[in-house]
Amino acid sequence: MRIPVSVLDLAPIARGETASSSIAASVALAQRAEEHGYRRVWYAEHHNMPSIASSATSVLISHVGAHTTTIRLGAGGVMLPNHSPLTIAEQFGTLEAMYPGRIDLGLGRAPGSDQNTMYALRRNPNSADRFPQDVLELQAYLAGETRVPGVDAIPGKGSSVPLYILGSSMFGATLAAALGLPYAFASHFAPQLLEPAVAAYRREFTPSEQLSEPYVIAGVNVIAADTTDEARANHEAVKRNLAIGLFGRGQTLSDEQADQLLAQGAGTHVESMLTHTAVGTRAEVGEYLDGFLKTADADELIVAHQAPTTEARLRSVTLLAEALTGFGG
């Protein structure tokens, strides 16, 4: 492998499945990724979404950590405005104490929810405005250099869990550059500003104690299968599931109804989200990722294996790993 490749596990709850089966699938996915040499697995904080089981991100990381041995695990990311920096420092300090040297903490400022969910989280609508200050406060807790006199994160103090700034806009790029932190761009669902954001981050980067040179992780979707036709069928299923999740208003819809949503305008939005998606056989996805790496100017790729079933996602993880043997040749 010419560069590190990681997994973004969206912890999907498929139609007819349960949160329990989703979590079991996340364990299996992390174990398969570990077996095949992926660098890390990240989970993202989402709330009030019937199709995603990663709302309690640190709890999920802890569970997967108990069933793996070497692969790095982390948040991609925690939506910091939903929490106090001390709480997150304690949670990830605890994870680092349990799984030393394996924990990452990616931070985002998006709400990850609607107005009612924001209220249920007791979140202040203006809390995102404090994101840069909250990142620094969190970083200080983890470094053992608290900015709040007399208050330490225990566990967490001195753990130096590495921080990553997540984003899909110029804001995250410039903040990561100013703080000297790695930058992860969410190009797997928000591709529009990938190239200018990465260019700005690299241009404006200031070295820090954590990082001496800029480091970019770019998100990309992969749907790998044993045949091109199977991969394309899985791709269509993924588009249907996205249309239902985004525009189905909580209803249980058939494939035919999902196709109607796609035809009525949802398709344009879904296709835009999936701009950076490798679909095909082992060789086809390997070739696609080689090109995407150049487009993204990335140091690491983080892959969302977007297949509709656990078995198909596990197969995609294996096929991509096999493709990476000759990656970038």
Q: 3-class SS at 280?
A: strand
pLDDT of residue 11: 96
- Type of residue found at 55: S
pLDDT of residue 329: 42
**DSSP annotation string for 195-259:** HHHHHHHHHH----SS-SS--EEEEEEEEE-SSHHHHHHHHHHHHHHHHHHHHSTT----HHHHH
pLDDT of residue 112: 57
pLDDT of residue 265: 85
- Measured CA to CA, the distance from residue 306 to residue 97 in angstroms comes to 32
pLDDT of residue 1: 58
pLDDT of residue 92: 98
Give all domains of the chain, ordered by start, each with its CATH number.
1-161 (3.20.20.30)
Model confidence, pTM: 0.95
- Measured CA to CA, the distance from residue 247 to residue 270 in angstroms comes to 10
Phi and psi for 95 in degrees, rounded to 5? -60, -40
CA-based nearest residue to 71, from 302, 326, 315, 313? 302
pLDDT of residue 327: 57
Per-residue pLDDT of the chain (329 residues; tens, 9 = 90+): 578 999 999 999 987 899 999 999 999 999 999 999 999 999 999 998 888 999 999 999 999 999 999 999 999 999 999 999 999 999 999 999 999 999 999 999 986 567 888 889 888 878 889 999 999 999 999 999 999 999 999 999 999 999 999 999 999 999 999 999 999 999 999 999 999 999 999 999 999 999 999 999 999 999 999 999 999 999 999 999 889 888 887 778 888 898 899 999 899 999 999 999 999 999 999 999 999 999 999 999 999 999 999 999 999 999 999 998 765 44
